[in-house]
C-alpha cells in the first residue's frame, strides 16, 4: 500500500522581475537615499560672554559682529553652532583643554600660533586708551602713563609693547564693564581696550559725554579664530570657508553693516 503526504513546503517558482524594472527600482532607491538629509553636524563655539559689539546675548540669542562672522563661516560648512558664553579665561582654557571646537577672538602671537590652529585674521581692531573727559592725561609714548593707574581686563592681551611694559601700574578687573565703571568712579585713571567696545560701554551707561579716547591708538590688532591643535581637520575646513567668505566680500559686508550703524 502506497501512502502520500502533502509537501511541508510546496514548491513555488521564484519571482523574476524584468531587468529594466529592476534597474528602475535601483535608480529610484539610490535617488531616495541621496535625498535624505545629511546627518546634522554641530560645533561648540566658545566666546567671551559680554564683549559688545562683537559678541553678546540679546533676547536669548548670541549676536554681535564677530558672532555673525563665525556663524556665516559655519553656515558655509553646513555646521550648526552651539554657542558657549564664558569668561575670557574659560575661553582660553577650552582651547587648551580641547573642550570646544572653536574660540574667538584671539590676538596673534608666536605662542598662540604654536598652541592652536589660528584662522584669520578676520578683522582688525583698534586698541586705545580712554580717560575721563576732564582728565589732563596725554599719551605719546607709553612712558607718559607711568604716573597713572591703568585699568586692564585680567587675561587680555592688548598690544605687544603695552603687554610687556611691566613699569606701568596695571589694575586688573574681571571684565570691560567693571573696568569702565572703575574709570567713571575714579578708581583708575586710564583704561585700555578696543575702540568700539569702550565706546559701546560708554553709550550703554549713558556716559559717553563723560569720557574721551586719547587720539593716538595703542595699536591696530588683527583678530583670529582659534581651534585646538587636535582639531586640525576642522581647522582646515574652516580656513577654506574663511578664504572664500573673505574673497567674495561676505566678511567685509558684515563688518560694514555693523560699524556703519
pLDDT digit string (tens) for 19-42?
556 456 556 655 554 444 457 899
Average pLDDT over residues 96-111: 96
Average pLDDT over residues 98-119: 96
Residue with cell 595703542: 218
How far apart, in whole angstroms, are the C-alpha atoms of residue 65 and residue 179? 22
What is the greatest pairwise CA distance in the chain?
A: 128
How far apart, in whole angstroms, are the C-alpha atoms of residue 174 and residue 105? 17
pTM of this structure? 0.80
210-230 residue pLDDT tens: 999 999 999 999 999 999 999
Residue with cell 604716573: 147
C-alpha cell at 143: 612712558
Amino acid at each position: 500500500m502506497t501512502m502520500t503526504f502533502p509537501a511541508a513546503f510546496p514548491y513555488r517558482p521564484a519571482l523574476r522581475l524584468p531587468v529594466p524594472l529592476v534597474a528602475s527600482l535601483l535608480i529610484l532607491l539610490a535617488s531616495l537615499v541621496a535625498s535624505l538629509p545629511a546627518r546634522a553636524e554641530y560645533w561648540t563655539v566658545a566666546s567671551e560672554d559680554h564683549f559688545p559689539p562683537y559678541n553678546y546675548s540679546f533676547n536669548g540669542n548670541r549676536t554681535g559682529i564677530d558672532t555673525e562672522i563665525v556663524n556665516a563661516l559655519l553656515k558655509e560648512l553646513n555646521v550648526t553652532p552651539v554657542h558657549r558664553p564664558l569668561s575670557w579665561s574659560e575661553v582660553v582654557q577650552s582651547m587648551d583643554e580641547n573642550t570646544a571646537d572653536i574660540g574667538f577672538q584671539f590676538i596673534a602671537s608666536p605662542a598662540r600660533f604654536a598652541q592652536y590652529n589660528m584662522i584669520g585674521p578676520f578683522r582688525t581692531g583698534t586698541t586705545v586708551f580712554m580717560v575721563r573727559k576732564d582728565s589732563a592725561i596725554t599719551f605719546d609714548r607709553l612712558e607718559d602713563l607711568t604716573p597713572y593707574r591703568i585699568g586692564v581686563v585680567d587675561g587680555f592681551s592688548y598690544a605687544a609693547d603695552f603687554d610687556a611694559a611691566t613699569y606701568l601700574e596695571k589694575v586688573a578687573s574681571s571684565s570691560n564693564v567693571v573696568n569702565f565703571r572703575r574709570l567713571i568712579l575714579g578708581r583708575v585713571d586710564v583704561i585700555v581696550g578696543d575702540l568700539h567696545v569702550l565706546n559701546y560701554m560708554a553709550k550703554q551707561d549713558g556716559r559717553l559725554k563723560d569720557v574721551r579716547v586719547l587720539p593716538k591708538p595703542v595699536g591696530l590688532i588683527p583678530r583670529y579664530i582659534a581651534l585646538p591643535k587636535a582639531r586640525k581637520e576642522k581647522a582646515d575646513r574652516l580656513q577654506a570657508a574663511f578664504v572664500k567668505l573673505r574673497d567674495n566680500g561676505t566678511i567685509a559686508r558684515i563688518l560694514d553693516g555693523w560699524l556703519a550703524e
